[in-house]
């Protein structure tokens, strides 16, 4: 098997993520361009301004408090140093290896083997692991999972996904406003019928397409965090072992986790939301090449 350098893997994933973000931007411009032809430019700019203000306000508030929102939504508790010494020691050593501040540590009651990281930047990051992960993983497997989560923090994945979410949200809002406006605007004298038809089709399809792209970005960032974990630990076998245990043990969905928080987790905790994560088999194959 041909070995792949983890730095090359990280670089490729970053370029692919950038291309996917750029694709969303192109769809956004194309949708706006067609709407500007179908309606008066002033009307189009009003839609743009309203959608941008609404999206930015909502996402900024969520992003700024992302760490606190995430841990509160799953009922996680702060991890005391006395009770969870190994957890703290592993994160401290990995923080030194990754060159980022030690995040605040939390524990979530769950039999699943899982973890997630959140926070707007490394200085305000949190890591949360399940009690199942602490009980069922050995030291090297737990180190691999924690290194993966620190990879998300070091790569600013929360910020990356926030940019994608803002753009997806704006496209969805513009599409909705455009489609609803067709019912109330009866003056068709200055409209190009063909462009309106194309605009309607794009307004319907654009939110679906960009959501698929957003899911692809999420999967790409998971591969990136796996590669970063290898970079921090120099030991892919630990992460591979954890993934194999997850495949065996995480049979039932985690009822405490909402769909909004599920993409943050190391392994998808909801069985009906697999598209946010690559399959475990594919992740293991990628790790075995490093």
Which of the residues are catalytic?
149
Q: First-to-last CA distance in the chain?
A: 10
Phi/psi of residue 185, nearest 5 degrees: -105, 100
- Cα distance between residue 263 and residue 2, in whole Å: 31
Strand 77-78 to strand 104-108: parallel, antiparallel, or no bridges (unpaired)?
antiparallel
């Amino acid at each position: 098997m041909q070995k792949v350098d983890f730095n090359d893997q990280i670089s490729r994933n970053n370029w692919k993520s950038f291309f996917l973000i750029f694709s969303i931007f192109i769809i956004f411009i194309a949708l706006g361009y067609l709407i500007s032809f179908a309606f008066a430019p002033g009307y189009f700019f009003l839609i743009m301004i309203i959608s941008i203000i609404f999206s930015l306000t909502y996402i900024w508030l969520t992003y700024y408090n992302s760490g606190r929102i995430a841990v509160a939504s799953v009922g996680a508790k702060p991890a005391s140093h006395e009770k969870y010494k190994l957890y703290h020691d592993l994160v401290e050593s990995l923080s030194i290896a990754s060159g980022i501040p030690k995040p605040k540590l939390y524990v979530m009651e769950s039999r699943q083997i899982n973890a997630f990281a959140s926070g707007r930047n490394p200085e305000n990051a949190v890591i949360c692991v399940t009690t199942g992960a602490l009980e069922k993983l050995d030291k090297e497997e737990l180190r691999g999972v924690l290194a993966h989560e620190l990879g998300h923090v070091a790569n600013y994945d929360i910020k990356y996904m926030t940019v994608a979410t803002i753009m997806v949200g704006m496209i969805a809002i513009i599409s909705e406003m455009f489609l609803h406006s067709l019912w109330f605007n009866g003056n068709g004298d200055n409209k190009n019928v063909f462009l309106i038809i194309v605009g309607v089709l794009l307004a319907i399809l654009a939110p679906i397409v960009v959501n698929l792209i957003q899911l692809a970005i999420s999967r790409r960032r998971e591969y990136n965090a796996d590669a970063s974990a290898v970079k921090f630990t120099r030991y892919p076998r630990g992460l591979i072992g954890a993934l194999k245990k997850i495949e065996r043990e995480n049979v039932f969905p985690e009822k405490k986790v909402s769909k909004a928080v599920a993409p943050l987790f190391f392994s998808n905790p909801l069985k009906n939301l697999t598209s946010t994560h690559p399959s475990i088999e594919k992740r293991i194959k990628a790790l075995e090449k490093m």
